């Protein structure tokens, strides 16, 4: 019997930050990797170079997840690179352009966050799930969505971001119910304060929190911390779980008294 080919992961927003960290850890675990970003860039080239340095089979597929009319083409192109997708990682997303008073949130900012962070991943997941359902396999398959601890922790200075991430949390549960019978598992990962360009704007704030032991594991998280959680779930280590939430936040979300 021929050996099973390595699994394939398709990771959105993998040009840098958490997406790149996820890609690198999955590659170390033997996955073949399809990395996505909204456009070709030096960042995306660097991700590919880092993957190649690890001996990984990796391809890049450019496409904007907010452009839902192109989702079918995006999924088909990604699928064609290695002939399958075993794990979709919904990682791409944005933060608010400007943090500020919830009373000052504009409809333009709200629509931008919902379009990119929620509407895009919902319809991309739908397109990928349809392709997976149409191509049954006995292997473990998963859809892993990177949300945020702001799916439960309110930050009034970026209200629209919080709302978009809360929507992703429900999305994961809904797809879990629909896809369980198809052998496709869904999971949500809620990162805490991860060292990326997105969190750099609030570096001083978070440095103070960690210096004051404001979290049980009082340090910055790294993109690879999220990558390790994704790799564990995508490997099929929890075959009797679906629709679950995994916190990667150093215990920051733990209720305390």
Q: Phi/psi of residue 30, each to 5°?
A: 95, 5
Contact 158, 110 (CB under 8 A): no
Under a CB-based contact definition with an 8 Å cutoff, are residues 157 and 100 in contact?
yes
Q: Are 197 and 237 a contacting pair, CB within 8 Å?
A: no
User: Catalytic site residue 161?
Assistant: yes
* CB neighbourhood size of 112 (10 A): 17
**Cβ-contact 26, 231 below 8 angstroms:** yes
* 199 in Cβ contact with 210 (< 8 Å): no
Choosing from 161, 187, 206, 240, which is the catalytic residue? Answer: 161
Residue 250 has φ and ψ, to the nearest 5°, of 65, 20
At 249, list the tokens: 């936040």
Residues acting as catalytic residues: 161
């Amino acid at each position: 019997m021929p050996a099973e080919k390595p699994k394939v992961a398709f990771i959105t927003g993998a040009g840098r930050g958490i997406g790149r960290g996820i890609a690198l850890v999955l590659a170390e675990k033997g996955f073949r990797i399809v990395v996505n970003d909204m456009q070709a860039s030096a960042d995306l080239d660097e991700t590919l170079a880092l993957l190649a340095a690890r001996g990984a089979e990796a391809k890049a597929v450019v496409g904007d997840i907010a452009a839902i009319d192109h989702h079918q083409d995006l999924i088909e192109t990604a699928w064609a690179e290695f002939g399958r997708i075993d794990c979709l990682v919904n990682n791409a997303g944005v933060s608010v352009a400007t943090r500020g008073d919830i009373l000052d949130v504009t409809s333009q900012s709200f629509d931008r966050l919902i379009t990119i962070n929620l509407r895009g991943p919902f319809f991309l997941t739908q397109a990928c799930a349809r392709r997976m359902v149409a191509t049954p396999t006995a292997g473990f398959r998963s859809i892993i969505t990177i949300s945020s601890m702001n799916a439960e922790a309110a930050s009034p200075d970026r209200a629209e971001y919080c709302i978009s991430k809360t929507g992703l949390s429900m999305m994961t549960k809904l797809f879990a119910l629909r896809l369980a019978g198809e052998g496709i598992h869904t999971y949500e990962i809620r990162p805490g304060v991860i060292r990326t360009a997105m969190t750099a704007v609030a570096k001083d704030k978070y440095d103070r929190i960690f210096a004051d032991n404001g979290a049980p594991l009082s340090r910055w998280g790294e993109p690879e911390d999220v990558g390790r959680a994704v790799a564990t779930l995508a490997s099929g280590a929890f075959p009797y779980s679906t629709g679950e939430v995994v916190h990667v936040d150093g215990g920051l979300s733990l209720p305390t008294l």
